Amino acid sequence: MDFSFTEEQTLLAESVQRYLDDRYSFEARKQWLKAMGDGAAHSPTVWNELAGLGVLALLVPEKDGGLGGGAFETLVVAQALGGHMVVEPFISSAVVATRAIAMLGTPEQRAQWLPAMAEGKAIVVPVLGGTAASTDAAVTATVTNDGWRLNGKARAVYHAPAAQAFVVAARVAAGEGTADTLFLVSANGAGVQQTRYITVDSQSAADLAFNNMEVAASARLGDGDSSTAIAALADLALFTLCAEALGSMEQAVALTVDYTRNRQQFGMPLARFQVLQHRMVDMQTHVEQARSLVYLAASLIDTGDSEAQAQGSTSRTQAVAAMQVLVLEAARYVSQQAVQLHGGMGVTDEMAISHHFKRLLATGLRCGTAAQHLDRYAGLTAA
């Protein structure tokens, strides 16, 4: 299977990387984070500049004024953003919420939201059971005379404080059973409460509580049971999060190699010690294994499971589960080894490696454990 990037994808990756090198260095990131510490949910300046690069329009269909990109375009951008530990709501708004509205939105919903999201004028955040890895609805929806009533809670919704709207996955009673559906609702509407905070990896998040929130019938995304679409959105979120983690791991290895080349011990650079060389080789090996599974997932993320099975290939859900296992194991190993090889300085805020450690730690917390995804992969393989 050929995983070579096209000329357009390569140019996209290079343009985003140049922008980040110029505008989002580690020192510049500290300034953006200081602004967040003063009460900001994200940086409107950075967000608008990403919009100017076309990053926010990647997954907006061409007919809606976007670029009509797919998984590999998302991959190269997320990888670059992860390498610089960007704290903007790219995954939440530009990827998952954009895909949800593009897939299921009515013409009116698409016209209202997609162009504004592509231009950086609106941020929409998904609420898929409270975590990126969850497809279980934490919110219930009850039919009313003129719409719906939402109740429930969702924890650790990344970038919720910056959002103007939420795409909420909810469980709806349907006759004798239940169905999952999505609602596009105002983030500032009556009946929704936010408990805001900054996460361990310096991003904004909130716990949400929906208390008898009344929404119009027109707020629903799609008709009938949207379980398949919600599962696809969750897989897309996990894939993009792992692509981001891949960029962070690559940078962690590069920082560690550079540090050991310059740090002197016993009259020679640390990089001259063979035992440390072996550890850095092991770090790079984990990164390359993770890369192979992220690329495999990218080749399948835009393909439905039934289509993949008809072609005799690995299903999207299998690929995502396998990717999660390797990426989470690699993230743990690479981040821990990087900090250890930096010594005591590796855990200080002055060193970029400590921030990569926190970013990769948070990835594991958002995704679930490797053991959970291994069980998921085994179940899918046996089915």
CATH of the domain at 319: 1.20.140.10
pLDDT value at 85 more than 60: yes
Encode burial over 317-327: b for 16+ CB neighbours within 10 A, e otherwise. Answer: bbbbbbbbbbb
Statement to judge: residues 260 and 371 lie in one domain: yes
**Separation of alpha carbons 266 and 164, rounded Å:** 57
Which of 3-7, 94-98, 155-159 is the least confident region? 3-7
Statement to judge: residues 207 and 233 lie in one domain: no
Q: If pLDDT is split at 50, 70 and 90, which confidence band does 137 have? A: low
Is 158 buried (19+), middle (13-18) or exposed (0-12) by CB count in 10 A?
A: buried
Structural domain ending residue among the three candidates 161, 195, 221: 221
pLDDT at 62: 94
Most confident of 2-16, 24-38, 238-252, 267-281: 238-252
Structural domain ending residue among the three candidates 221, 243, 264: 221
Statement to judge: residues 50 and 95 lie in one domain: yes
> Is 118 part of a structural domain of the chain?
yes
> Is 378 part of a structural domain of the chain?
yes
Domain that residue 111 falls in: 7-122
The number of angstroms, rounded, from the C-alpha of 287 to the middle of its chain's C-alpha atoms is: 18
Closest CA to 182 of 144, 215, 146: 215
The number of folded domains in the chain is 3
pLDDT at 133: 41
Statement to judge: residues 234 and 377 lie in one domain: yes
The number of angstroms, rounded, from the C-alpha of 321 to the middle of its chain's C-alpha atoms is: 15
Statement to judge: residues 27 and 112 lie in one domain: yes
Statement to judge: residues 262 and 364 lie in one domain: yes
Statement to judge: residues 316 and 265 lie in one domain: yes
Statement to judge: residues 237 and 338 lie in one domain: yes
Structural domain ending residue among the three candidates 74, 107, 122: 122
Closest CA to 197 of 189, 188, 208, 187: 208
Q: For the domain that residue 24 is a member of, what is the CATH number?
A: 1.10.540.10
pLDDT at 2: 61
Statement to judge: residues 303 and 354 lie in one domain: yes
pLDDT value at 352 more than 90: yes
> Is 2 part of a structural domain of the chain?
no
Statement to judge: residues 248 and 213 lie in one domain: no
pLDDT in tens, 19-67: 999 999 999 898 888 877 777 788 899 999 999 999 999 999 999 989 9
Predicted TM-score (pTM) of this structure? 0.90
* 205 phi and psi angles, rounded to 5 deg: -155, 170
Statement to judge: residues 98 and 139 lie in one domain: no
Statement to judge: residues 138 and 216 lie in one domain: yes
